[in-house]
Amino acid sequence: MKYFYKLFFVALLLFIFSYQSFASEVNVYTSRHYDSDESIYEDFTGLTGIKVNIISGKGKALMERLRLEGKNSPADLFITSDAGNLWKIQKDGMFREILSEKIVKTVPDSARGPNNEWVGIAKRSRVIFYNPERVKDIEIMNITYEDLADPKWKGRLVVRSSGNIYNQSLVASLISNIGVERTEKWAKGIVKNFARKPQGNDRSQILAVANGEADIAIANTYYIGLMLSGEKGIDQKKAAEKVSLIFPGQTDDGTHINISGVGILKNAPNPSNAEKFIEYLLTDKVQKHIVDNTYEYPIKSHIMPSKIIAKFGTNFKTDETYASDFGKYNSEAVRLMDRAGWR
Ligand SMILES: [Fe+2]
């Protein structure tokens, strides 16, 4: 009898141990964590039984961590902004191909890695903000990115530094569209037009336009969404109300579009759970949640952006350059900006 109890106890321990090691989970490294996302993770767990473990941090820090952990990383998924960042992980062979048809069919070609190593979960557009009291409609209407190098903007333009991946990707897209030579000439013109030395993030460029330090700024649309929402305080909301925006390139290649995206790590311990999680991020419900919280654009065209962003217009022409080109031409773009003196 004593022997039977012992055996029973060992069997019970074995059961608990194996249950724990097979417990369904997915480990997500993300530079895009919002408090409101908790409800999304809980909902996913309720639907699938898969527990979501989140490690959040800055994109660069997480990329560093993934590299340091190497094969031993528990990460299944890496979520970050900018195709340029996703490209860096892809280039080092750290992503695996996403096989789910559901995912590949939902995300357009232009928002996926060359071999489906990553896919976009939201889109962002890099536009021109201007002070309508200092810039006449006629000056700004039908403006293209190339027009920003015109000497008429001398001392009137602000944009963040060339170390910033959003600018690197914009320049890479220009290289893809008009070639290195024309892009370099353009970058030199941009530098001559600076109202100040590049500093701060995109929000700080919009603030510079609002307070009269500059007349125009290059920045992503979701920053004005964030400011107008009141999340950044009443002063920033008031500042944002003084500023207008225009989608550049409407008579040309269209407005520059980048993505926030996700890839599955090569050594992911739970790759099929990871695919399920991406499929979930692409459901209409979660797409709506994403755009209402981040003020980005949805990856699915039938979902409406947040009201705050939609009021600037939803039917603008978008540049169809593949997001993977932003990675492909990244080092060329960095060198080019350096030659142009864009610091
Ligand atoms: Fe951003």
Domain with residue 284: its CATH number is: 3.40.190.10
Neighbours of 23 (CB within 10 A): 10
318 Cα–ligand 1 center, Å: 19
Q: What is the mean pLDDT of residues 129-142?
A: 95
**In the predicted structure, residue 20 carries a pLDDT above the cut 50:** no
How many structural domains is the chain composed of? 2
| 24 in any annotated domain | yes
pTM score: 0.92
For ligand 1, the distance from its centroid to the CA atom of residue 95, given in whole angstroms, is 23
Considering only residues 17 and 156, tell me which one the structure prediction assigns the higher pLDDT. Answer: 156
Cα of 46 to ligand 1 centre, how many Å? 31
**Distance in Å, CA 165 to ligand 1 centroid:** 10
Residue 4 has pLDDT above 70, yes or no: no
What distance in angstroms lies between residue 297's CA and the mean position of ligand 1's atoms? 13
CB 177 within 8 Å of CB 215:
no
Q: How far apart are CA 92 and CA 81, in angstroms?
A: 18
Distance 265 CA to ligand 1 centre (A): 23
Query: In angstroms, how far is the first alpha carbon of the chain from the final one?
Result: 79
Q: What backbone torsions phi and psi does residue 218 show, to the nearest 5 degrees?
A: -100, 125
Query: 256 C-alpha vs ligand 1 centroid, how far in Å?
Result: 15
Does the residue 334 lie in any domain?
yes
Answer whether residue 312 is part of any domain. Answer: no
- Give 23 Cα–ligand 1 centroid separation in angstroms: 35
Residue 9 in domain: yes
Q: How far is the CA of 3 from the centre of ligand 1 (A)?
A: 64
Cα 47 to middle of ligand 1, angstroms: 31
Q: Is residue 310 part of a domain?
A: no
> Which 8-state DSSP code applies to residue 306?
-
The CB-based long-range contact list for 117-120 (8 Å cut-off, 24+ gap) reads 117/86, 117/90, 117/263, 118/83, 118/86, 118/89, 118/90, 118/261, 118/262, 118/263, 119/261, 119/262, 119/263, 119/278, 119/299, 120/83, 120/259, 120/260, 120/261, 120/299, 120/323
Closest C-alpha among 97, 98, 93, 75 to residue 268: 75
Q: Are 247 and 273 found together in one domain?
A: no
- 272 is in which domain, residue-wise? 2-122+259-305
What number is the average pLDDT over the span 121-127? 97
d(CA 284, CA 281): 8
Residues 6+ apart with CB under 8 A from 99: 116, 275
83 falls within a domain: yes
CA distance readout (Å), 270 to 25, 93, 199: 7, 18, 41
Average pLDDT over residues 53-65: 96
The rounded mean pLDDT for the chain is 94
User: Average pLDDT of 176-189?
Assistant: 98
Q: How confident is the model at residue 37 (pLDDT cuts 50, 70, 90)?
A: confident
For ligand 1, the distance from its centroid to the CA atom of residue 125, given in whole angstroms, is: 11
Distance 6 CA to ligand 1 centre (A): 59
pLDDT for position 181: 98
Residue 115 has pLDDT above 90, yes or no: yes
| CA distances from residue 339 to 32, 176, 186, 326 in whole angstroms, order as listed | 33, 18, 12, 19
For residue 106, report the distance from its CA to the centre of ligand 1, in Å: 24
Alpha helices in 49-130 (DSSP H): 59-69, 83-91, 101-106
Instruction: Let me know whether 150 and 213 are in one domain.
Output: yes
Residue of 31, 27, 119, 41 whose CA lies nearest to 75:
27
The candidate with the shortest Cα–Cα distance to 80, out of 220, 265, 260, is: 260
Residue 311 lies in a domain: no
The pLDDT-based confidence of 2 (bands split at 50, 70, 90) is: low
Domain-located, residue 181: yes
Q: Is the same domain home to 246 and 299?
A: no
Are 117 and 137 part of one and the same domain? no
Tell whether 148 and 166 lie within a shared domain.
Answer: yes
Asked if 123 and 299 touch (Cβ cutoff 8 Å), the reply is yes
**CA pair distance 300, 297, nearest whole angstrom:** 9
Interval between CA 124 and ligand 1 midpoint (Å): 9
Query: Is residue 190 within 8 Å of residue 148, measured between CB atoms?
Result: yes
pLDDT at 45 > cutoff 80: yes
Are 285 and 297 found together in one domain? Answer: yes
Tokens 């039917």 belong to which residue? 315
**Which of the four pLDDT bands, split at 50, 70 and 90, describes residue 34?**
confident
C-alpha 222/C-alpha 125 separation (Å) is 8
Are residue 218 and residue 243 in the same domain, yes or no? Answer: yes
Is residue 150 located within the same domain as residue 180? Answer: yes
User: In this structure, which amino acid lies at residue 235?
Assistant: D
Residues 241 and 272 in one domain: no
* Distance (Å) from CA 25 to ligand 1 centroid: 29
- Ligand 1 centroid – CA 116 distance (Å): 24
| Contact by Cβ (8 Å): 122, 260 | yes
Whether residue 332 sits in one domain with residue 204: yes
* Ligand 1 midpoint to CA 317 (Å): 22
| Residue 88 predicted with pLDDT over 70 | yes
Which is nearest to 312 in space by CA: 223, 189, 180, 186?
Answer: 223
- 108/245 same-domain check: no
pLDDT tens digits along 281-297: 999 999 999 999 999 99
pLDDT at 58 over 90: yes
Is the pLDDT score of 11 beyond 80?
no
Share of the chain above pLDDT 70, in %: 93
* Under 8 Å between Cβ of 158 and 208: yes
Q: Verify that 94 and 146 share a domain, yes or no.
A: no
Q: What is the pLDDT of residue 16?
A: 52
Confidence category of residue 32, pLDDT binned at 50, 70, 90: confident
